[in-house]
Amino acid sequence: MMDPMGTAVATVHPAELADTTPAPSPAPVPTSTSARTVTEGQAAALVAEWLIGKADRTATAYRADLAAFAGALVAMAAELGATPPTSTADALAVLLSRTKGEAGTIGAAYRRWMETATDTRPALAPSTVARRLATLSSLIGAAYRADLIGWELSLKAPKVESYRDTRGPGVDAVTAMVAILDPTTAAGARDRAIVLTLAGMGLRRGELVALDLADLDADRGTIAVTGKGKTQAEPLTVPGAVLDALTAWVGHRGTEPGPLFHGFRGKRARLNGGSVARIVAKVADLARAAEAADKADEADGKASKVPATVRPHGLRHTAITTALDASGGNIREAAKFSRHQRLETVLIYDDRRTDVAGQLAAQVTSRYVTP
């Protein structure tokens, strides 16, 4: 093509007239593991929603686990380069506002913190570490389902040894503990009722401390117990000896509404699990000391009937193994007594009670060695 001056002009196609400036790169699309800002208020609302429908004791335990995490995060703030949280909800907001990788780092640091003893605090038991990490993992899952975060994370917990001694202190130990207590005193009547209720009915200490006076129906001989993981109380028949012990305690306690078992200081607050553990340990110490005094002039070298350590759950163990003995090893009946949801759990008690493994080992060995 020639212009009017006869100069050749290159032909330009319309496409070449388009803007050749490079187009801006598209904004990055958030990935499922990227961070989103979660506020303290959102974290608090998440916890409230997450706890709906859970039994009171379960909700209380979860709140305690989350509060423990917040306390640890305050202690670990410098290590993690974070600002110390001012509340449990703030600590959870810090965790949930991180990327998946960063949250995993916090979880790993939290586990190390729990498993490490210092001059001011002991290392926690593996079962406690596992439970607290499971609580956090469950809350993270709830945040993901609520679309507060775009990632899920199961915090790696320590392997918890499945074996546990389910035999408890034994019938002789419980008998000695009951005998040492004086029901004519308020403290003796209370502690005797506690020991007999735990060892006679197989209650968990959480179930015991949750009891109110109104739960006891002495006329009908029942007590309403809210079992583990349950939201509604179940009336349980109270054995005569346990009912007598409870009635004797109520005679000292009085008929004022409130917790069935309380302390003797101040406003007589409800006993907690730790208080019950200390009471049981104290009674065991008294029984062991009385036994030692009785044997002071003897040189038979027999071991004490009362173990060095007796815990509330050990009394429940004794109750269940004794129930198995009384029922001739009937697993279903024992499960109804213990209120275990899985028969397999009661089988563990039965195996420990009869020492199945030991008996089979003896039979196997007898095949190899001629007596």
Using DSSP, state whether 160 is helix, strand or coil: coil
Question: Angle 343-354/356-368 helices, nearest 10 degrees?
Answer: 50
- Give exposure, 147-174, as e/b (b: 16+ Cβ within 10 Å): ebbbbebebebbeeeeeeebbbbbeebb
Give the pLDDT band of residue 354 (cuts 50, 70, 90). low
- DSSP lists the bridge partners of residue 262 as 270
Which of 32 and 4 is assigned the larger pLDDT? Answer: 32
First to last CA, the chain: 119
Domain ranges across the chain? 40-145, 171-331
Mean pLDDT of the residues in the chain: 82
Q: Are 212 and 258 in contact, with CB atoms under 8 Å apart?
A: yes
Using DSSP, state whether 329 is helix, strand or coil: coil
pLDDT at 10 over 50: no
Instruction: Give which of 270, 130, 276, 120 is closest to 193, Cα–Cα.
Output: 276
Domain 171-331 has CATH 3.40.250.10: no
The predicted pLDDT at position 228 comes to 77
pLDDT at 320 over 50: yes
pLDDT at 277 over 90: yes
Sign of the Cα pseudo-torsion (140, 146, 149, 150, in order)? positive
Q: What is the pTM of this model?
A: 0.56
pLDDT in tens, 67-118: 999 999 999 988 888 889 999 999 999 999 999 999 999 999 999 999 998 8
Residue 57 per-residue DSSP state = H
pLDDT in tens, 124-159: 888 889 999 999 999 999 999 999 999 998 888 877
